[in-house]
Every structure is written in structure tokens, then in C-alpha cells.
Amino acid sequence: MRPQRTWSPTLVIPVADATSMQHLIGQGGSPTTSLGRQAWLSLTSPPASPQLNCNAEGINQQGAGSARVRIGLLTSATDCTSAGSATGFGIETSSCGQQLGPAVGSAAGGTCGPNGSDVADFGYLFVR
């Protein structure tokens, strides 16, 4: 008997009016999606546990706080003006005087030191 393969979760991100990925990311805007928080959190293993509020999702999401995400979910302890955590692809957060956050996965934000709940993961991005 052949061993069964286990595949990572998949998320299809529908975006309109994009001629290419370069156009979509480079257009300076931040196209939003409506996939929902749980869809983004299901992508990491172990499951991500970012902050509970804001939940802005899509491309080039950046709040007034210290976090931004190229493709994914931006979260906060209060609202989008103080976003400090993110889940997805191309994460960057800045807290505790250093750059934190995996390139793919989830950055918890505001949890400094070795006991933070960042999830570094591996992901593929296919564009059609």
C-alpha cells in the first residue's frame, strides 16, 4: 500500500482587474479580499494566533501601526490604526526595536523574546 500524501491547505485569492502580479502589487493600492480571518489562519501549521482586531485582508495591507503584509491578513490588539501582527506572505513587523516576522507564516506582534507566538512557515504562490 502506498503512503498517503498530505498536502498543505490551499487558499484561492480572487482579485479583479489585474493584468499581472507585478501590476497588482505595484499599483500602489491595496486591493482587499473577503475570505475571512479563519481562511488566512488555516494556512499556518501550527495554527496562527495573531491579535484579534482589525482583520484587514488582501494585497499590500498596511495599517498605521508597525505591521504590513504583502498578501494576507493584518491584525491588531485594538484597531487598524495600531496594527501590529499579520498572517500571510511578505510579513514585516517592527516592535521591541527590531524587525520581526517570518516572510511566510504569522507574526504575532507585540510579543518580544523567545516566547512569542510567531509561526514561520513555507508557502507557494501560484498566479494564473
Which residue, among 94, 124, 96, has the nearest Cα to 107 in the 3D structure?
94
82: DSSP letter: G
Query: 116 lies in a domain?
Result: yes
Which residue, among 101, 126, 127, has the nearest Cα to 44 in the 3D structure?
101
**Structurally, how many domains does the chain consist of?**
1
Query: 73 lies in a domain?
Result: yes
Query: 104 lies in a domain?
Result: yes
3-class SS of residue 9:
coil
Q: Which pLDDT tens digits describe the chain residue by residue (128 residues)?
A: 555 545 567 888 877 766 777 877 776 677 888 999 999 888 887 777 788 889 999 888 887 767 888 899 998 888 888 788 888 888 887 755 555 567 888 887 655 544 456 777 888 887 77
In terms of residue numbers, what domain contains 71?
34-120
Task: Output the nine-digit C-alpha cell for 60.
Answer: 499590500
Query: 76 lies in a domain?
Result: yes
Query: 26 lies in a domain?
Result: no
Q: Is there a contact between 59 and 70 (Cβ–Cβ < 8 Å)?
A: yes
Query: 54 lies in a domain?
Result: yes
Give the global pTM.
0.78
